[in-house]
Amino acid sequence: MAKKTEEQQPLSELVIKQTELAAIVGKTPRWIRQMTSEGILKQVSRGKYVLSDAVQAYIEHAEGGRLEDNRPRLKDEQTELTRIKKEIADLELSQLRGDLHKAEDVEKFVSNMILSVKTKLQSIPTRLAPQLENESTNVIEAAIRREINAALKGLAAYDPTGASDG
């Protein structure tokens, strides 16, 4: 008489021990207990887990959570952090190459340039008034225009080191 084979439980419903689950996911039993205490893994009884549920929960945890939770997943956050670190490295490299300048350096440069031009423009009346005291309107206008143009040329050729100031 042939032996009647036992009906096997589907693998997805198989209940396994904590040590077996640890071996399957490549972690320690202690790690499995920690994930259980954090609510990531669910026991069906003390130290026993449904294989498919536990593996799916582990995968979800490893990926950083579910997409439908409407929360950022750990994997997504790590990807964003990596992208930001790369962007920072690119900016630092550009700065080292001289392709990029700090905002405070540019602000200081522009402020100094504006103050230099302002000083030159404000000195025009004091310098020209005595020279043009008895001159015609056309001569006065030409002299003022010449001084303003000289100040603007100085602005165009501005050297922050002051080497070309004169």
DSSP for 69-130, please give it.
Answer: G-S--HHHHHHHHHHHHHHHHHHHHHHHHTS---HHHHHHHHHHHHHHHHHHHHHHHHHHHH
Backbone angles phi, psi at 115, to 5 degrees: -65, -40
- Contact by Cβ (8 Å): 144, 128: yes
Question: Which pair of structure tokens corresponds to residue 147?
Answer: 């001084």
pTM greater than the 0.75 cutoff: no
- The boundaries of the domain holding residue 117 are 103-156
Q: Is 3 a domain residue?
A: no
Phi, psi of 142 (to 5 degrees): -65, -40
* Residue 5 domain flag: no
Q: Quick check: is 161 in a domain?
A: no
Which among 35, 37, 80, 81 is positioned nearest to 61, based on CA atoms?
Answer: 35
Q: Which residue, among 56, 61, 62, has the nearest Cα to 12 in the 3D structure?
A: 56
Q: How many Å apart are CA 149 and CA 14, to the nearest integer? A: 90
Q: Are 38 and 54 in contact (CB under 8 A)?
A: no
DSSP 22-71: HHHHT--HHHHHHHHHTTSS--SBTTEEEHHHHHHHHHHHHHTS-GGG-S
Based on the fold, state whether residues 41 and 79 are members of the same structural domain: no
Residues 84 and 57 in one domain: no
Distance, in Å, from the CA atom of 145 to the CA atom of 115, rounded to the nearest integer, reads 20
What is the predicted pLDDT for the residue at 70? Answer: 60
Written as six digits, the tokens of 124 are: 């025009």
State residue 101's pLDDT score.
Answer: 80
Tens-digit pLDDT string for the chain (166 aa): 455 555 677 777 889 999 999 998 899 999 899 989 988 899 988 989 998 889 888 888 877 666 555 666 667 778 888 999 999 998 888 888 878 788 888 888 888 888 888 888 888 888 888 888 888 989 989 999 998 888 888 778 777 666 654 4
Question: Considering the domain boundaries, does residue 20 fall inside one?
Answer: yes
> Residues 89, 110: one domain?
no
Residue 162's pLDDT is 61
Please give the tally of structural domains in the chain.
Answer: 3
